[in-house]
Amino acid sequence: MKKSVGIIGANGYTGSELVRLLAFHPNIELKFLYSRSNSGVKISDLYPDLDSVCDLVLENTLRPVDILFLCLPHKESQNWLNDNSVSDETLIIDLGNDFRLAGQFKNRNFIYGLSEIYFNEIKESKSIANPGCFATAIQLALLPLAKENLLKDIYTTGITGSTGAGQSLQPTTHFTWRNDNISAYKTLNHQHVDEILKQVNSLNNEEVELNFVPWRGDFARGIFTSSIIGCDLELEKIDELYKDFYKDSPFVKVLEKSIDMKQVINTNFCVIQIEKQGNKIAVHSAIDNLLKGASGQAVQNMNIAKGWEQNLGLNLKSLAF
């Protein structure tokens, strides 16, 4: 029997991506789409690409479901859960940042939803805190080294598309500003740094320092990161270390040839490539910020928690052009 699903905040980018993915998921029935600001509006009127996919109308009524996705702005999930009653048996997956650092909320303990290291915990959980987009790309680039206690100071740059800023219009999301433009933001002070270090330091013997400079790109979706790290191991040994670490992770690919962002756009994959000069390595990683960095990873976590194959509903091809 199919599991019923509700999406809170279905009118945003991550919510609408979930609609697109779950509409074709064989084990799922979309029961309701919740939105306070667009109640009464058909989801396909907001996103015409969903016209042949979903005919549900957004509403502000909470209905009992087996699985509930929270796609609310950061810091709003906790307030919403305080104001609404959800069954203890309902699987909740929060795509905001409310529970990524501290998972305890009333009688729920939110498990950090990076399946590449917390698969067993996610499998047994009814409360999952989906990782952030930059946090996902950077952690997947660093965790194999952390496991071998090979991390000290890390210098990372990363570029993201305009969808990473959310749907609300801001000066830096206008087409006229983004087009043919690039800029750094939240230099050395990005909100995902603490999230990354919490997981990295849980594996690495000594605490590391992450120096992260994020960039705004002039494209809609995708993330590409490069981390510079001191390492004396031979490149061949590093590649082996990464491939062994991710041997049971169906959505992480470690490649020897150069990677680019288009390899992962419209997929739930993360691709990683390592280069070495002298005693420095550069670890590159690329993901789709709305899929492996948000909605796709949320579906992957749902699949794990329900005991389904991880790739169910996520067999997506990248967009080459």
Catalytically annotated residues: 133
3 state SS of 94:
strand
CA within 13 Å, CB half, 54: 30
Opening angle at CA 259, ends 162 and 312, nearest 5: 75
What are the beta bridge partners of residue 8? 34, 70
**Chain centroid offset of residue 285 CA:** 13
CA within 13 Å, CB half, 52: 1
CB atoms under 10 Å from CB of 274, counted, come to 23
Q: Are 185 and 126 in contact (CB under 8 A)?
A: no
Opening angle at CA 209, ends 203 and 215, nearest 5: 110
CB atoms under 10 Å from CB of 55, counted, come to 10
Q: Are 299 and 320 in contact (CB under 8 A)?
A: no
3 state SS of 91:
strand
Task: Report the C-alpha gap between 77 and 313 in whole angstroms.
Answer: 25
Nearest CA-CA partner of 223 in 253, 194, 263: 263
Task: Report the C-alpha gap between 207 and 210 in whole angstroms.
Answer: 10
3 state SS of 73:
coil
